A and B are shown apart, each in its own frame.
Chain A
């Protein structure tokens, strides 16, 4: 047991537990906070994989911006408690069975291709952080410059769209 393996196991436990907390918590605010914890553990996974830029983007964009937006909307809508009881009585067991089937299928594929994945280099073979960051920046601003600029248009469209959607018509009440 080396340190990396122990860290990995702890992270897996925290990630799965926080995802389960998201699924079962009745209070929407708690669900959002569980999701923040999950995003933080995924960010540490990225660090383990030698991707510091993605890890920090994960913390600032997901755990920072997106979850603050979520919490803001939860506060705005009064974190409404929905009544218990399903409209479709078979929905919950059916959903659990389907999710188990999906997980089993993914596990089967993983197990079947174990030879293939084992033949690849192990993820944490030492990585030069400065070099990889420089290469990432170069790729982003040369080879992928057009997609990068298109995302700025996408964000602008989303911003304008949201403002138009939530704008009240003239003379409309509340």
Chain B
């Protein structure tokens, strides 16, 4: 291939996706969409990991991404269970209603 994409291209798209994920966490009030935005941020970080791993010619970055994926799967399972419990108690999942520690 005559012309390849530089590392900074991948880092730029990673930064853009991370910023959009942050924006989603800040402006949305549906906890499911906030959660999806967190997943978007994790993905952006993973993309930067893989890009750096390729640039430095090491595999550690890819292995780290694998662990991040596993942890985020566990995190999603627990988080969605918590959202279901909150829905059971309050009959709504609006984050503005989650303002008391004792349900």
Which residues of A come within 8 Å of B, CB atoms? Answer: 2, 4-5, 8, 12, 15-16, 19-20, 22-23, 28, 31-32, 35, 38-39, 42, 45-46, 48-51, 53-54, 57-58, 61-62, 65-66, 69-70, 73-74, 76-77, 80, 82-83, 86-87, 91-92, 94-96, 98-100, 102-103, 106-107, 110, 114, 117-118, 120-125, 127, 132, 135-136, 139-140, 144, 147, 151, 154-155, 157-159, 161-162, 165-166, 174
Contact = CB atoms under 8 A, between A and B. Distances in A.
Contact of B80 (A35, A54, A69, A118): A69
B36 A31 contact: yes
Nearest to A55: B50
Given A22-B33, A154-B74, A95 B26 contact: yes
B98 interface: no
User: Which secondary structure dominates where chain B touches chain A?
Assistant: helix
What 5 A-B pairs are tightest by C-beta distance, nearest first?
A95-B26, A158-B74, A106-B15, A99-B23, A103-B19
Contact of B81 (A8, A38, A100, A166): A166
Contact of B69 (A31, A62, A83): A62
Contacts, number: 229
A120 B2 CA distance: 17
